Amino acid sequence: MRRRARTIAAIKAGARRAICVDLDPERAQASRDNVRQAGLADRIDVRQGDALDVKDLSEISVVFLYMGDHFNLLIRPVLWRSLRPGARVVSHRFTMGDWKPDKTVAVESFEGGGTYDLHLWTITEEVKRKAAR
């Protein structure tokens, strides 16, 4: 539920469009229902499948991940190759191996769950060069 709420909150805060990907068919359907109830089905595309299979990220300006360290390392080369310079990557709690975040912010949970870290990176020309190797 929290991931869907964050995507809806991003749209309400000014994001033009969002894509959500969930491997679990039931969670994907619950996300679609929540998005439809919020009246945002025309701006939030919910897909059931593997996030590693999303082909074109070239128009994406912000990627929000709430996966794990292992998955983040799997998707990192995809992000490096596909995202344009200036695009940002945000990860809830989990890091990207030796790709050190530009910034880490401790955030207080509004649900009373304590604090958690958000790690923030920016795709740069240097990152694009690394991806090309």
61 and 2 belong to one structural domain: no
96 and 115 belong to one structural domain: yes
41 and 75 belong to one structural domain: no
Dmax (CA) of the chain: 45
Q: What is the CATH number of the domain that holds 62?
A: 3.40.50.150
42 and 56 belong to one structural domain: no
7 and 22 belong to one structural domain: yes
Counted domains in the chain = 2
36 and 65 belong to one structural domain: no
Query: pTM above 0.75?
Result: yes
In angstroms, rounded to a whole number, what is the distance separating the alpha carbons of residues 17 and 87?
15
106 or 114, higher pLDDT: 106
Per-residue pLDDT of 6-65, as tens digits, reads 788 888 888 888 888 889 999 999 999 999 999 999 998 898 999 888 878 888 888 888
- Quick one: pLDDT band at residue 132, thresholds 50, 70, 90? confident
**Average pLDDT rounded to a whole number, residues 68-79:** 93
133 and 68 belong to one structural domain: yes
Per-residue pLDDT of 113-127, as tens digits, reads 788 899 999 999 998
Residue 35: enclosing H or E segment and its boundaries? Answer: helix 25-37
63 and 106 belong to one structural domain: yes
Provide the residue range defining the domain that includes 81: 52-133
Query: What SS3 state is found at 105?
Result: strand
- Quick one: pLDDT band at residue 4, thresholds 50, 70, 90? low
In angstroms, rounded to a whole number, what is the distance separating the alpha carbons of residues 32 and 34?
5
